[in-house]
Amino acid sequence: MKLIGSLTSPYVRKVRIVLAEKKIEYEFVLDSPWTPESTVPNLNPLGKIPVLVLDDETALFDSRVISEYLDNVAPNNKLMPAPNRERTEVKRWEALADGICDAAALLFLEQKRPAKQQSPDWIARQQSKISHGIDYMAKELGENACCIGMHFSLADIAAVCALGYLAFRFPEIDWSEKHPNLARLYAKLMLRPAFADTVPQG
């Protein structure tokens, strides 16, 4: 299978970490959807990365669909529990983390526009989603060893991808200073090669 993505996308990073933790072999194809010659729109009508192209040429998107597919395609190192309530809790964490990434990506794009065209209200709206999302993440984590109690899951992967993306694009948003428990979780998970090998760059 082929993963189409970039070295900066937090959603692509989430899938790369899932693939590594599940020990699934794949080809990583760098293709930014922002370039005119990108092949991404031919695979995903939404023009977004990541896209996972299966061996039968099926194109999977988005990162949540890809992550759940990968967790089910190999029985080892399960990242999502089977029971409905626990599974839903993991997916809610993923929705929270991805939602922080959504707001951060929109904020990044808005601030790349010419200053006169930037909307202060739109910027404030995204900044509010990010700060409320981080505070909620810290409250939910509490003093637990992992996002969901004691067990490593997709929730931890999504959370670190969101926090790492903020550190990459908006280092002034100092979540680690405000929330030492998030800093502890991040530092612990960054010891895992799948996380250390996929830090956003470029």
Chain contacts with ligand GSF (rule: CB under 6 A) = 9-11, 33, 47-50, 62-64, 98, 105
By beta-carbon proximity to ligand GSF, the closer residue of 47 and 180 is 47
Nearest to 23 by CA among 60, 90, 81, 74: 74
- Minimum CB separation of residue 143 from ligand GSF in Å reads 29
- Minimum CB separation of residue 94 from ligand GSF in Å reads 9
By beta-carbon proximity to ligand GSF, the closer residue of 50 and 133 is 50
- Strand blocks (E) in the chain: 2-5, 27-30, 51-53, 59-60
Token pair 């010891």: residue: 191
- Minimum CB separation of residue 24 from ligand GSF in Å reads 18
- Minimum CB separation of residue 171 from ligand GSF in Å reads 17
- Phi and psi at 179, nearest 5°, equal -130, 85
Q: Give the Cα-Cα-Cα angle 189, 194, 196 (nearest 5 degrees).
A: 65
By beta-carbon proximity to ligand GSF, the closer residue of 130 and 179 is 130
